[in-house]
Structure formats: C-alpha cells, structure tokens
Chain A
C-alpha cells in the first residue's frame, strides 16, 4: 500500500518553500520523526520530520524546486503490503518497535530521535572515518558529510579535517555580514541555501564609507519635530508657479535652505576632524541620499546657502535623476560638508543616520504626518509634524550645539518667512 506524506502547514502563513536538500533517498527505510528534507521558507530553513515510518517509494520533488503546502512531498510504501523478503523483515521490525520488543531494534537505522540536524545521516553509513577522527571533526566544527576524504574510497583522515577547518576560517572572512562560518555553504554542497555576492562597486564604496564613519566617529542622534503646516501651505500656493517653470516643489529644498542658514551659526556641524585639527568649512556643499538600483548614492549640491529654493529644487531633481541613471560624475559626489537623508517618502519617523564621512553631521528626515498636538491655547489640534534626526560627531560638537542647531532649523521650517529675512546675511 502507498501512503503520501503531505508537506505540512508550517504556520505563520507560509504556503510554500524551496526544497533545499533531500536527507533521504528512494528505497530508504525511514522512521517516524526522522528528518527527511530541508526546506527553506520565507522565514527560515527548516528540517521536515517524517510523520510515520516506512520505506520510501518515490520523492515527488527535486532539489531546488518549490514545494506547495498540502501537496505530496514523498510517497511511502507502508508495511501492510511488503511482500518481498526484504521489506517484510523491515515491517516486522517496525511492528515490534511499536508493540513489544523494542529491545531488538536493528542497529544502524533505529536511532534515537534527533531534534537537531543530525551529525549522522541516518539512512546511510557513517562517514568513512575512525571514531577519533570523527571526534576531531566535531571539535573543529567540520561536517563530515561536506568533505571528501583523501584516502581510499574517500576515507577521511585527520589531515582532511584540519584542512577543511582552515578553509572554513578563511572563507568566512570573505562572507558578507550575517553569514556565520558554521552556516557557511561549502563548495561541495549541491544546492546551497545561500548565495555569495562579491563585495564590489557601489556596495563596496558604501561599505567602506560606512565602516570608516562607524569606526572613527562618536555618533549621537538628536531628534525633534517641526510643525510644518505653514510651510505646506506655501508649497501648495507656489506649486503651480513652480510647475510652470518645470520644477517639482517638495519640502526638501526648504530644509536644505534652513540648514545652510543655521549651519552658519553652528560651524562645528559643517566641519571635519582630520589629523588632530577641526576644519570649519566656510562653504556649504550638501550631500543628499538617493536610493538607486545599485545602492545608496550621495550627490552633492554646491553652495546651498547661495541658491534660491527653486534653484535648489531643480538641482535636487536633476542630480537624483542622473544618480539613478548612473550618469553622475565622480566630482559631483565629492567635497560635501553636510548631508541630508530623507526616508520620509518610504515612511518611518525617527532613525539614526550614519554621518557621511568625513562630515561632522547629517540630518535625517522622516515622514511628515498629521498628529494631534496641544497648541498655545491648550487645545488639541491637528498639525503636520516633520520628524528631524540629526546625527552629529560628538568628538567635534556637543549635544547642546546639536539641539540649538535643530531648534534653529525648526524655527525656519515653522515660520518660513524667516528664511526670507535671514537669507540675505550671506
């Protein structure tokens, strides 16, 4: 008689998974709870235990195929039919096992239940290695099934284990974050549950820059909100005018402008620390973060303090378009003094941006949302609030500096007329 093993519902709304590896093969006798396959779902790599015992007649999927919940994963030949001498004896064992004579379990197959990934492939023989060598493998974390021994018929000797252990150490360094050496895919595995992407190009640049900032700087993030009802009104009023000039007006140019003015009063946030000196910069070149297919790019707008809101808006649009098309020049990415990163279009409120090396501060902008606030008349009113998160380098500036700077930026954003009044100072 045949019996299907249905790929079970693993919960958490998972409907399918990729069959990474069969742990058994056709003709194997499988015990209840013995692990039969490794399947990777959206959530995790899981080992599927058999629901019952029997001899495997057919595997319904091949490795790397997608398995749907509720479909047959494999087909067993159950005990009732076993006519041949061989299977008959198997069936006897199983019946005995469940009934009375557990003592007489055969040796290799009838293992104790194993909840973790078994070090022994229970359906085949032990790897060809002596007990002492197998112990060495355990100690060095080498999976005997993943290496081919150098001896006759693949016998694994101590040297093979040592070599495999050394290899694991080297290649784990090359791996990207998150893949530990233990779960590292070995080259001999047919279907690896991971894909190794070489770190190169923009990704490498991002990694280096982030690493430099993270290692060198002492970063603190200061957070506050600006009420931007007025600013939104102005933007609405001037949207038509902007459009007539081919400009898409967002809040970002206003924020750039506000920062460029406030930075003039807080030069330590428009600075860099190099070779034991703090360089206060008298020019205001802002990097702004653009999400491209290749990863994060930070084109730079020069002399923000000297440009009008419309001009800034236009440059923002042009530079980000060229960044996305990868048509930007290297110079256009260099020589920044301060940066702005705007995650608001995607959502999110406060976050902790990493400073664009070697600047001393970066302003992170979250999504503007309507919120209930208490106004001067102690009334709860709806207001559009813009979240601001300023990360600064505490080696160069202090918390008070950051707070004062952000307060000033907020004052401009809440009362955009001030922008007009203050702009002429430079």
Chain B
C-alpha cells in the first residue's frame, strides 16, 4: 500500500515503527495478518535505526579506523597526513541510515504492510484516532501493539538546548568534532559516545553519580575496561554529582560535587546528558482505554507481552526491562505469534553488548550474581593476548570469562571484553539457551585462527585444561 493511504480497519494496528514495531509488523504479515504501522517518523526504523544503534555504530567504526591509523606504522603502513572531514563522515552515516530505512519500507511494501506517517491515539480498545498532515481519521483494529519506544531522559538542572547541552540524538549528528566533551552518565550510551570522540581526539570527561560503572561485569573485566579508558584519554569521575552549569563564552562550565563533598569546575565545549531513557506514552490516549503505566512510566505486560487489555500488547522500551533493540525484536515476535494464537511466551536470555573499544558483551549470570544466588561455581578465563588471531589483528586487550555451576557443569554465564566480542557472544547465548555443559562447548571445534577460539579456551580454562595458557592443576583462576 502507498504511504498515507488509509484503510478504515485493520486486523492489527502497531503504534511505532522502531525495532519493536517493524519486526512485529513483518512477523504478523508473514502469519497472514492485515497490519497497519503508525509511525511518528516519516521512515520506519525508530530510535535504533534513525538516531541510536545504527548511526552510533557507523560513527564508532569510523572513529576506530581513524584512531588505528597511527598504530599501523608498526605493520609498516605509514601515512603522511592524517585528516578527518567529519561532515563527510556524517554524510556517509546518513546514507547508511537512509539505505536501511528504505530497506524496511521496501519490506513493508512487499509484505503489504500499511505504513502511515502520523500520530496515533487510542479512542477505545477497538479504535485509534490518526492525526497526520492529511487530517484526522479513525482506524478500527482487532489487536494493537504499542511499540512507541523511549526518549532520552532530561535532567532538570541540565535541560537540553540542542546546542551545548545535547542528548545522544543530537550528538550523533554534530558536524564538527568538539575539542572537549563532558558526558553525564557512565551507562552504555555515555561510554560508547566517549569512545567515538576519544578516538577523534576530543578531550572527554565522564561524570558518574554512582561509585562504579558496568555493575553487571565481574571486576576483572571492569578493571580491563577502566585501564583502556585511561589509554584513550577519557577521564572517568565516579561518585561525582553535577550540580549546575553556566555558559562562559562558547564553553559550558560545569559545577561538580566530588565524593568528599568538595566542589570543582569542569569546562568543556559540549555537554552530553546520557542518564537513561524514559518510555514514550504521552498522547497515546491510554486514559481512553484505562491503561495505566507504572511509577516509572512503563506499561505492564505479561509473558505474552499483553497489557491488562488483552487485545493490546506492548513491546520494546515502552514495556520496560532491558532497553535494547534485540529485546524489542524478541518481544515483537512473541506478541505477533500470540496474536495469531500461538503458544508464545517470554523465556529467553538477553545478551548485552556495548560497543566501546574494546567491546563488551555478556549473557547470563556474572560470577558475582551466580554466587549471590547461591550457586557453587567454577570459572575459567582466557586472555586475547594468548590468541594467534588477536595478535595478528593487533587487538590483544581483553578476556573471556566463563561461569558454570560446579556440580552439573551447566554454563551459567559468559562475559567478554575484547575485539569483536559483540559477534562472539551469540555462541554463549546459544549455549545458555540450550542448557549446555562446559564439555558441550569444549567438544565443539572452534576454527583456527579466529577470535572465537577464546570462547573455547575460556571453557577449557574452567575445566582446568586450556591449551594456549599454562594453568596449574585444580586451581580456578578466580578462587
């Protein structure tokens, strides 16, 4: 159907065209449903594709290449002039985003999914009011899926002005590399953006209120990461509270309170506030369908992703939990299958991936979490430095750590920091989903020379028998 073309009724109405919405739409269409997607953005893809995961990964990749060039001299590669035209980088990034968005739109056409660029508001549990540039209309539905996502959380003392105080959305589109950047929030968004600009030569400061970052990582991995931050000239100030700011010529002067209650000023060209995201439910007409959000604004759902109104589902960021696109993908598939009468319910592990340099990825329990739950664990750890492939890539920072239940040898969790671990984590996720034991992975051949060998070696380390590393008998690395 043509964009904007409006049918008066649809089997399933989806509010939001992001990772939750577009995946639900395609799966529902595959299952034979007539689907209408109502999107505030003119193109599908949502925050993830338009102003989140995808643009940030493009910039991260560009910045990483830029920073690696001087290091190539050891390989005998010399360049005379190192230059980056960031506006060109941005254009290249925009091209990629556009290509991918149009790709989704193309899929919508192929699957005959009706896509409307408009705002949707529930009038009842059967009807949505559609507000577009062409005016008001109404759409009847049998089922609805709320996939309206989230937006950057604003700090009252540091309101976004989109010039000097930015959210992740704006900073991914700036045309000029700032000389200095302060980031409030040491979560994954803050850390990834710090990495981008750290590589591009910006002086980066991260301010974190809490005494530590990356709490889900075991401390060995966290320490490796903190060392890398230092090497990249990124300063991290934990237990540090931003109090106020004032503009000083073209700079922003931040007043900070340190752990010892002393105060300190920090000057930088730009301020990024990355303190989390809040769900988008305003203007959806939830009051008309008697749907309430929880104290933090999230919609409550059951394992089938149904809200309290059984014909209305909620998926992705708006439903809370881990605010990650692949969690939204998974929920979208559950909701779609359940709408079509299939026995679908949430029971999966969500792997977490952070595109810092080096990358971080983990799934299942950390050693700390496993012990807190009363598991008797054995662990194994393997450093990338001992791996042939990592050496030839000149990417030797990082480790993989495997955590298993001692008695059954069932794998409880795997944590990784190192090169391309965002791709390596899927083997670990599969292992946990399959209820694999250490031996299952040990007896799986990992091709040589690849980074994936580190997974196998960390498993062997838990069994006490890694090949590329000397390990004394019967000692667990972490005991």
Contact = CB atoms under 8 A, between A and B. Distances in A.
Interface of A: 27-29, 33, 55, 85-87, 89-90, 92-93, 95-96, 98-116, 118-120, 123-126, 128-131, 134-135, 138-139, 141, 152-153, 155
Given A101-B187, A107-B351, A116 B372 contact: no
- B contact face: mostly helix, strand, loop, or mixed: loop
Contact of A106 (B216, B275, B323): B216
A108 to B, nearest CB: 6
B362 interface: yes
Interface in B322-355: 322-324, 331, 342-352
A30 to B, nearest CB: 12
Interface of B: 153, 185-189, 209-212, 214-216, 275-277, 294, 296, 298, 300-304, 308, 319-324, 331, 342-352, 362-366, 368-369, 371-374, 407-408, 410, 412-413, 433-435
28 contacts: A27-B374, A28-B373, A33-B294, A55-B372, A92-B210, A92-B215, A96-B210, A98-B296, A100-B185, A102-B277, A105-B216, A105-B322, A105-B352, A106-B215, A107-B363, A110-B321, A112-B301, A112-B319, A112-B320, A113-B300, A113-B321, A116-B303, A129-B435, A130-B434, A131-B347, A138-B345, A139-B342, A153-B408
Nearest to B211: A92
B109 to A, nearest CB: 31
Contacts of B300: 33, 113, 115
Contacts of A112: 301, 319-321, 331, 346
Contacts of A107: 216, 322, 349-352, 362-365, 413
A103 B372 contact: no
Contacts of A139: 342-343
Contacts of A86: 368, 371-372
A426 B364 CA distance: 89
Nearest to A25: B374
Contacts of A104: 187-188, 214-216, 352
A90 B370 CA distance: 11
Contacts, number: 159
A126 to B, nearest CB: 6
- Which 6 A-B residue pairings sit nearest by Cβ, starting from the closest? A101-B187, A112-B321, A100-B275, A138-B343, A116-B302, A100-B276
A118 B434 contact: no
B322 A110 contact: yes
B374 A135 contact: no
Contacts of A119: 303, 345-347
A93 B187 CA distance: 11
B185 A101 contact: yes
Contacts of B413: 107-108
A93 B373 contact: no
A155 B214 CA distance: 33
Contacts of A93: 215-216
B302 A135 contact: no
Contacts of A124: 373
